[in-house]
Amino acid sequence: MALSPTLCAATAASRREAAVSRMPRLAHREVMLALAHQMEARLGPRLLPSEVPADVAWFGDGAVPGAALGSVDVHGGAPGSSIDFMLEAWFHRALPTGGAIDITSLVVFLNGTTDAPHFLMELIQGGPSSLVVLLDLFPRRDLPVHPDYIDKYYGATGVDAHRINIEKIPQVRPYVSPSLLVRSLWSPTAVVVDVQCGEGKEAVLEEIVRGQLAQSAVELLDVWLQKCAGSVVEMEETEKESLVARDKMISTTSVKLNLSANLPKIFDKHVSDRVVAEIDKAFRGP
């Protein structure tokens, strides 16, 4: 007998909570989890229940228990909504030289009913007192030829204040991606920084994460939920098809291929293959 949507949602949520509870406790992961909860609550019926299999909702490998752990959750958008999908991903890998790398991602893509920006946040902690922060309303138009788009989503909303405030923090410096393609995709208001607090300064990093970073992330999410998530924009069919094709190209070349290249470095191939395949389903769409 098939489970009801309510029971499926409860089962998926319980499974996700159990998975996340087994991950190492980190300030940035707790901030991201709070954002994900807020997003799910605000989007409500616009999200479908998660159908991620158990071995992707929680997975681990390696000879040492707890050395490599991960959790991925995906919600598709409900029919008639502007949501394409919502992706949460959490990866932890202990390093042979000591320490660990922890990657936390929260991504929401919109569909062809609107040209509003996607929401993207990724936090990469490569040491106890260092963190790379990627936070943006990810543009879906080529901005130089759409100045009205810049005004609507970035100028009128005041989101550049978050970049300015975070870049004022003494421990923050710009992060420069080695990929020229990735560098070309961010909005001019994106927070793309490397936080380096120095040896033994874990408490300083936590203060930054729970302070200015958390505040900016919550406020940026609120802008996205108000101005983007429910947006409907009238477009010609050819324009809509071009927009969706652009989304697919960007996700394929920058997001999906990045995961395909890097997850095998964190997990065994049989684990990374099934996780990448599930993430691929989200970005590929129906």
Q: Phi and psi of 39, rounded to 5°?
A: -65, -45
Q: Residues of the chain with pLDDT > 90: what percent?
A: 68
62-77 average pLDDT score? 84
- Taking the C-alpha atoms of residue 102 and residue 182, their distance in angstroms, rounded to an integer, is 20
Higher-pLDDT residue of 14 and 132 is 132
Domain boundaries, the chain: 17-284
The DSSP output letter for 51 is -
Residue 15 has pLDDT above 50, yes or no: yes
Q: Which band of pLDDT confidence, cut at 50, 70 and 90, is reported for residue 2?
A: very low
- For 145-183, write each residue's pLDDT tens digit: 999 999 999 999 999 999 999 999 999 999 998 888 888
Secondary-structure class of domain 17-284 per CATH: alpha beta
pTM: 0.91
Alpha helices (runs of H) in the chain, residue ranges in sequence order: 5-21, 27-43, 54-57, 147-150, 160-167, 180-185, 202-208, 214-227, 237-250, 257-266, 269-284
- For 86-119, write each residue's pLDDT tens digit: 999 999 999 888 889 999 999 999 999 999 999 9
Is residue 281 classed as helix, strand or coil in its secondary structure? helix
Q: Which band of pLDDT confidence, cut at 50, 70 and 90, is reported for residue 1?
A: very low
264-273 average pLDDT score? 86
With a CB cutoff of 8 Å and minimum separation 6, the contacts of 274 are 55, 56, 59
